[in-house]
């Protein structure tokens, strides 16, 4: 990794970038991972607890709307 960083920085400096700019560009290349593709939206597995919580929330809303 150190050799690759040194080579990348030397290449950028040979292209006319100063040391700091070469470091920033090289750092971004190795430190920031590329964005992962967004997965296809898939339905979440059903959970009995979650289903019951939703049902309770709906019931509370209905009771609140009756006033």
Every domain of the chain and the residues it spans: 1-33
| Per-residue model confidence (pLDDT) at position 56 | 94
Query: Which tokens sit at 46?
Result: 């059903």
pLDDT, tens digit, 9 for 90 and up, residues 19-63: 999 999 998 887 777 788 887 877 777 889 989 999 999 999 999
**How many Cβ atoms sit within 10 Å of the Cβ of residue 12?**
19
| Per-residue model confidence (pLDDT) at position 33 | 75
Helix H or strand E segment including 21: helix 19-31
**For the whole prediction, is pTM greater than 0.85?**
no
| Per-residue model confidence (pLDDT) at position 35 | 81
DSSP track, the chain = -HHHHHHHHHHHHHTT--HHHHHHHHHHHHHSPPPPPPPPP-PPPP-HHHHHHHHHHHHHHHHHHT-
């Amino acid at each position: 990794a150190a050799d690759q960083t040194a080579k990348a920085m030397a290449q950028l400096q040979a292209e006319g970038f100063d040391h700091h700019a070469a470091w920033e560009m090289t750092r971004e290349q190795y430190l920031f991972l590329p964005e992962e593709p967004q997965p296809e939206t898939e339905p979440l597995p059903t959970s009995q607890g979650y289903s019951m919580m939703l049902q309770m929330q709906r019931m509370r809303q209905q009771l609140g709307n009756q006033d």
